[in-house]
Amino acid sequence: MIKSTAKNPKGENNCQYHIACRKNELASYALLPGDPGRVLKITKNWEKKKQIAFNREYRSITGYFKNLKISCVSTGIGAPSAAIAIEEMIRLNVHTFIRVGSTGAIQKGINPGDLIINIGAVRSDGTSKSYIQPTYPALANYEVVMALIEACEKLSIKYHLGISASTDAFYVGEGRLGFRGYNQAALKNIVPDLQKANVINLDMENSIIFTLASLYNFRAGAICVVFDNLITNKWIVKGEEKLGKVASESMVILNQWDKIKKKRKKKYFYPSLIY
């Protein structure tokens, strides 16, 4: 057993300190909802599923979807807890991540229940800046983006494609008023400025997940269901079931592409490899 130290903390039975998972308990492909309750919704139709751990905000379940072994691990709210989950999961050899979250739209024509596939994120969080300078881009992996698009098309589910902005503050950081109407002049232009830059949605985790993926050389992407539109002021919590189906199907597609790459001895996937 590896001894726990301040620089390398461990939990009981040599598990990762926060997510409480051990080697071989997580699959190489993992879905990342924020809400621990959403883990149960995503894995509802999986087979041979087993809850691995539930510690703090981190609930993990591993099971099978269409014969592919997949894990689903909640990250909690925001970049700090998401970074911890990523750090510990990659130590357990997870190499492909899809964030499966909720989001707020900031452009017209995007309604509650729609899905958004993000190709990149504005790094308005604080955690990613602890890792690398603010000019470093937060980009989704192109293979994951393509797999998410293909899954939506295959399942005939409406989706939008674009850039998100990740913030640490759900209320004032996303254009809402704080307690007793608290606001600042600089906060009033957050949403209008992002709109002008063609940012289509706001979230709290994409930027750290994309940034760590590039820094640590693993694959990551994100698909989120819209709960609200800050422009139309609509709020409806719906669409989580189809969100989970698309994300799970995307992992199956990625696994198929990985097998093709291995067979053809190619490092990167491109469409004509299929034919």
**What residues does each domain of the chain span?**
15-274
User: Closest Cα to residue 258, out of 87, 81, 29?
Assistant: 29
Specify the CATH number of the domain 15-274: 3.40.50.1580
What does the pLDDT read at residue 3?
78
Instruction: Please name which of 75, 33, 76, 68 lies closest in space to residue 241, comparing C-alpha atoms.
Output: 33
In 10 A of CB 226, how many CB atoms?
24
The reported pLDDT for the residue numbered 1 is 60
Number of Cβ within a 10 Å radius of residue 36: 17
The maximal CA–CA distance of the chain, rounded, in angstroms, is: 61
d(CA 61, CA 55): 12
Which residues of 17-83 form beta strands (DSSP E)?
Answer: 29-32, 47-55, 58-65, 68-73
Q: Contact, 26 vs 73, CB < 8 A?
A: yes
Structure tokens that stand for 88 in this block: 């510990």
pTM for the full predicted model: 0.95
Spell out the per-residue pLDDT of the chain, length 275, in tens. 667 898 888 898 889 999 999 999 999 999 999 999 999 999 999 999 999 999 999 999 999 999 999 999 999 999 999 999 999 999 999 999 999 999 999 999 999 999 999 999 999 999 999 999 999 999 999 999 999 999 999 999 999 999 999 999 999 999 999 999 999 998 899 999 999 999 999 999 999 999 999 999 999 999 999 999 999 999 999 999 999 999 999 999 999 999 999 999 999 999 999 88
- Contact yes or no for 205/79 (Cβ under 8 A): yes
- Using alpha carbons, select from 105, 117, 115 the residue that is nearest to residue 206: 117
Contact present, 124 and 166 (Cβ < 8 Å) = yes
How far is residue 144 from each of residues 42, 63, 120, 163, 210, measured CA to CA in Å? 18, 20, 12, 15, 11
